[in-house]
Amino acid sequence: MANMEEARITVSEFLKKTLNVKDVKVIKTAKVSDGWESEAEVYEESSFIKSLGLATRVQDRNIYAVKLNDSLEVESYERKGQLSPRE
């Protein structure tokens, strides 16, 4: 059976690869009956500014929810929300 640290590492690596970002900060991990539920903070290029075709260093701080099964396979993930931008 996997432990909390293994779940955290799995979530971090999955989001880095999937979202093509450098840093992921896992801010919550909880054992549930059928696996693990985690939340992670990710800084990504501002989707609004990017859609305008402008070059910028502004990044959006997004929170992602990730669900893992007992074998640490990702079952689902979603962006939960967006917080204040960072320059």
* Domains recognised in the chain with CATH numbers: 4-86 (3.10.450)
CA dist 63 and 26 (Å) reads: 9
- Predicted TM-score (pTM) of the model is 0.84
CA dist 65 and 15 (Å) reads: 10
CA dist 22 and 80 (Å) reads: 19
pLDDT tier for residue 60 given thresholds of 50, 70 and 90 = confident
Q: What mean pLDDT value characterizes the chain?
A: 90
Concatenating the DSSP letter of every residue in 10-66 gives HHHHHHHHHHT-S-EEEEEEEEETTEEEEEEEEEEE-HHHHHTT-----EEEEEEEE
